[in-house]
Amino acid sequence: MTMETALPRYTSATDRSRRDAMAARSARRDPRTEPGPVRWLIIGVAVAFLSVFVVLPLVLVFAQAFSKGIAAYLSALSDPEALSAIRLTLCVAALSVSLNLVFGLVAAWAIAKFEFGGKTFLISLIDLPFSVSPVISGLVFVLLFGAQGYWGPWLQAHNIHVLFAIPGIVLATTFVTFPFVARALIPLMQEQGTQEEEAAISLGASGLQAFFRVTLPNIKWGLLYGVLLCNARAMGEFGAVSVVSGHIRGETNTMPLLVEILYNEYQFVASFAIASLLAMLALVTLVVKTVLERRLDEGQIPHGH
């Protein structure tokens, strides 16, 4: 009898079962694998933390918003001051996101596709709003455009209003949100490299044609991801806008500012009604973000955000 005939023969299903059992025993023996009770304890702590600090506040916001009934809720949202704040918030978000869209594309294109002196410094400037308090950024605009600021006298002489007007709010919001689009695109463009664009140009395409027909289709999901986060941040911005807006009721109050004003005036239903709109925005952002991250996991966008 040969050694081959002495060895037992297993079907493929039996082999897979044995391999799975051996892998399970190996995983149990792995010192890096936590015991079952420890794993459940860690998961329980995480769920409890999220429930207390994320889920519960959201539930309370909606509970307070509807505490006086649906009629009071709709009445609070239809108030002229609330409608003005909603319109201003949407307008500021649209303008700031549009500006950041252009800046993010240009900055990511320059950083990912070209080598030049000062690239590291440019990346640091893009990250600056992440490390600077929004209140400080608002004060910078006051120093620039205020009555005693650098450009203040010239603006007053030409009857141009920046502070306590929509331009100042847009500038402050754009400053605190401009890293989002650029930071979403830079790693994506760096991973893609320049081979496809070079091939398109070698076939006779111009630089703009290569961008719109090659680069832009390849980064569309990353671009949407950055725009989504930028829009959510723009609508929820409080600190910088609070400094430059002047809190003129019915004119320069965005939704976050109006929430604070109404709450301080003990108009709780109206305050939480506006807050519920911002909470709905956060929930919609979360859902869309989850869909985009699923595409990240599928490899359509490099995961790095």
The pair of structure tokens assigned to 123 is 């990346």
Cβ neighbours of 93 (radius 10 Å) = 24
Neighbours of 181 (CB within 10 A): 29
**Which one-letter DSSP state was computed for residue 212?**
I
Other Cβ atoms less than 10 A from the Cβ of 140: the count is: 18
In contact, 169 and 252? CB cutoff 8 Å: yes
pTM for the full predicted model: 0.77
- CA-closest candidate to residue 210, choices 98, 72, 109, 99: 109
Angle at 222 (CA atoms; ends 121, 240), nearest 5 degrees? 55
Q: How many CA atoms lie within 13 A of 163 on its CB side?
A: 23
Rounded to the nearest 5°, which phi and psi values hold at 193?
Answer: 75, -165
Say if residues 292 and 229 touch (Cβ distance below 8 Å): no
230 and 177 in contact (C-beta within 8 Å)? yes
Q: DSSP string spanning 28-79?
A: HH-TTSPPHHHHHHHHHHHHHHHIIIIIHHHHHHHHHHTTT-HHHHHHHHTS
State residue 34's pLDDT score.
66
Tell me the backbone φ, ψ of residue 53, rounded to 5 degrees.
-100, -10
Amino acid at 90: L
Task: Return per-residue pLDDT of the chain as tens, 305 residues.
Answer: 444 444 444 445 555 556 665 655 554 555 556 677 888 888 899 989 988 888 888 898 999 999 998 999 999 999 999 999 999 999 999 999 999 999 998 888 888 878 888 888 888 888 888 888 899 989 999 999 988 888 988 888 888 888 899 999 999 999 999 899 998 888 888 887 777 777 877 777 777 777 777 778 788 888 888 888 899 899 999 999 999 998 888 889 999 999 999 999 999 999 999 999 998 988 888 888 788 777 666 655 444 44
Check residue 17 and give its pLDDT. 59
Q: Write out the two tokens for 266.
A: 């003990």
Task: Check: CB of residue 10 under 8 Å from CB of residue 18.
Answer: yes
Q: In the chain, what are the domain boundaries?
A: 34-65, 70-295
Q: Give the pLDDT score at 39.
A: 83
**CATH code for the part of the protein at 70-295:** 1.10.3720.10
DSSP of 127-196: HHHHHS-HHHHHHHHHHHHSTTSSSHHHHHHTT---TTSHHHHHHHHHHHHTHHHHHHHHHHHHHH-SHH
pLDDT at 18: 61
Residue pair 278/90 in contact by the 8 Å Cβ criterion:
no
Structure tokens at 301: 């966008």
HSE, CB side, 13 Å, CA atoms: give it for residue 230: 32
